[in-house]
Amino acid sequence: QLAFPPTVGGQTLMGLPTLWRLRSWHDAGVWPLDDHWRDADIVLAETWTGLIEPAVKARPEGEIRDEAQVRMLARALSLLPAPELEALMSNLPDAAREEAWTLGIGAGDRLCELADPLKPPPLADDCFALPPGVDWTPVDAALDRLRERLHPIAGKETVPVADSAGRVLYKDLRALRSNPPAANSAVDGYGFAHASNGGGPRTLPLIEGRAAAGVPHGDTVPAGHAIRILTGATLPDGVDTVVLDEDTRTDGARVAFNEPPKARVNTRKAGEDVARGKVFLEAGRRLTPADLALCAALGHGRIPVRKRLRVGVLSTGDELTEPGSEAGEDRIFDANRPMLLSLIARWGMAPVDLGLAADRRDAVASALSDARTSCDAVLTSGGASAGDEDHVSALLRESGAMAEWRVAIKPGRPLALGTWEGTPIFGLPGNPVAALVCSLVFARPALGLMAGENWLVPRGVMVPAAFSKDKKPGRREYLRARLNDDGHAEVFPSEGSGRISGLSWATGLVELGDGARRVEPGEPVAFLSYAAFDG
Ligand code: AMP
Ligand code: MG
């Protein structure tokens, strides 16, 4: 149609030869007319500047209209996030394959928004809204990466069993002896040889003396006789069964009782708990008080453990000052450092206080350099994003050893991971709530691995929710929570990440998975107590 609007004929006549020439260049595909455009290096697509007319109207005074059209449309299309562009290019009517199509149709408002750099962005009620084009790493993928890349670095030593709680075993432990080492009595009573007559009343003469724990009798008990025996005493030869005190009558010379129907009642077999030579604890385990009992019982006086991982804690921010010091109202007390230092101690590692660093690159750099000899790893808090004063991430980026992970977690924000002069650095967010959650979710298993521990997967329990919530898809959320008297999980009323009181109110976290979820009261949710992260 060469005359009357819309005049497309002129453009077609001029355009087809031009398109033909362009196509002969390199590896070019024409969208959406051929099937080849998806894997072409260059895709030729028709678009239309009218799509962004409102933005063009608001162009700077004096700029030529055509120039503004091209500049703004190019800008808008280049800023369009890949998934949105993909949707625009894929969701087409059938006729588009024959008649072609105009790239951008249906996205005029969005393109206008991107066309003008000074147009205020739409209000984000959610500070976690994805900036265009940014991919967030799911929590599990981030954890998998940490697990792949880290390895145990803590040294080895042996320590007395009594000092080994919270330490990590570096080799499997075998029982040096059986528990119990010999058959013994489980009660105070009278020992005898079971008569295999299936029970009934018996009266047996007592032999002289008794068998007590640690003080064996020594002699064989003749058939048809009984012996006074106490809990824990090794069974004398000739004794396979013990009758409980309360089930007997005695005159001092004889004992009368109803014989239990089965032999070996009230006795413990040698090795019935653990047999000698058996591996009873495996390398990578962090020892509990109960483990110490087991180690001791099975003959281990000294335990082969990893040296404690030395973990430094550095707070960054010009606004921070020591708790309890004189401070104007534009300063805040450093809340993260005492929290993180005590968490590290709780994880069986050695906390190293690296103090406070101002928001200056050289201050952060020198604090991290000082940590090189005193620490195996460092947790910093604050300054981990990409803002003007975010010197931790800037430093790590500069040193070339930075992996800034935008992890899809709330509360979270970017986690700066890197090494500084060989020391692994976990750059945690400054907000105490996010700092705690990221420490528990990421730093805990990662530091544990470096400390020689098995990879920690905190075990939650499913409990009914005592709250309702509409959760958006695309990230994992952790809510400060505790169990109420009914054992249901209630959550702190405010999700604001500056609300330290909520951290303290809570006894753990409710974990809501990556997808969208509508939680109603009574529905099961995963509750992870803070203790679940202890390991
Ligand atoms: P940043 O990650 O440095 O941007 O800090 C985020 C927020 O957390 C800011 O409001 C900081 O003042 C606050 N913040 C940073 N570090 C600490 C800390 N050690 N104790 C308490 N609040 C902090
Ligand atoms: Mg800061």
Give all strands of the β-sheet with 189-192 in edge-to-edge order: 241-244, 189-192, 226-229, 200-211, 254-259, 248-250
Task: Supply the residue whose CA is at minimum distance from atom 14 of ligand 1.
Answer: 430
**Which residues surround ligand 1 with Cβ inside 6 Å?**
315, 317, 319-320, 332, 334-337, 381-385, 429-432
pLDDT per residue as tens, the chain (535 positions): 777 777 777 777 888 888 888 888 778 888 988 878 888 888 889 888 889 998 899 888 899 999 999 999 998 998 888 888 888 898 888 888 887 889 998 888 889 888 887 766 654 444 344 455 556 788 898 898 889 888 999 999 999 999 999 999 999 999 999 999 999 999 999 999 998 776 789 999 999 999 999 999 989 999 999 999 999 999 999 999 999 999 999 999 999 999 988 899 999 999 999 999 999 999 999 999 999 999 999 999 999 999 999 999 999 999 999 999 998 999 999 999 999 999 999 999 999 999 999 999 999 999 999 998 999 999 999 988 777 778 888 888 777 666 656 788 888 877 788 888 888 899 999 999 999 999 999 999 999 999 999 999 999 999 999 999 999 888 899 999 999 999 999 999 988 878 999 999 999 999 999 888 999 999 999 999 999 999 8
Q: How many beta carbons lie within 10 A of that of residue 425, not counting itself?
A: 27
What are the DSSP calls for 414-458, one per residue?
A: -EEEEEETTEEEEEE-SSHHHHHHHIIIIIHHHHHHHTTPPPP-P
Ligand nearest to the CA of 411: 1
Task: Supply the residue whose CA is at minimum distance from atom 21 of ligand 1.
Answer: 335
For residue 521, how far is its CA from the centre of ligand 2 (angstroms)? Answer: 38
Q: Which atom of ligand 1 is nearest to the CA of 337?
A: 19
C-alpha triplet 494, 356, 400: angle, nearest 5°: 95
What are the DSSP calls for 142-176, one per residue?
A: HHHHHHHH------EEEEEGGG-TT-BBSS-EE-S
- Rounded CA-CA distance 309/349 in Å is 5
Ligand nearest to the CA of 384: 1
Task: Supply the residue whose CA is at minimum distance from atom 11 of ligand 1.
Answer: 430
- Rounded CA-CA distance 239/221 in Å is 7
C-alpha triplet 505, 506, 511: angle, nearest 5°: 155
Q: Which helix (H) or strand (E) holds 69?
A: helix 65-79
Task: Supply the residue whose CA is at minimum distance from atom 23 of ligand 1.
Answer: 430
For residue 39, how far is its CA from the centre of ligand 2 (angstroms)? Answer: 44
- Rounded CA-CA distance 85/220 in Å is 91
Model pTM score:
0.74
Q: Which atom of ligand 1 is nearest to the CA of 429?
A: 2
Which residue matches tokens 């005695």? Answer: 250
Say which DSSP state 103 is in.
B
Ligand nearest to the CA of 430: 1
- Rounded CA-CA distance 310/325 in Å is 28
Query: Can you tell me whether residue 123 is helix, strand or coil?
Result: coil
For residue 435, how far is its CA from the centre of ligand 1 (angstroms)? Answer: 9
The two tokens of residue 197 are: 């007559």
Which residue matches tokens 């990879």? Answer: 455
- Rounded CA-CA distance 80/61 in Å is 26
Torsion of CA 218, 219, 223, 226, to 10 degrees: -60
Pick from 297, 298, 296: which is nearest to 163 by CA? 296
Q: What's the longest Cα–Cα distance across the chain?
A: 131
For residue 155, give Cα distances in angstroms to 108, 330, 387: 61, 44, 38
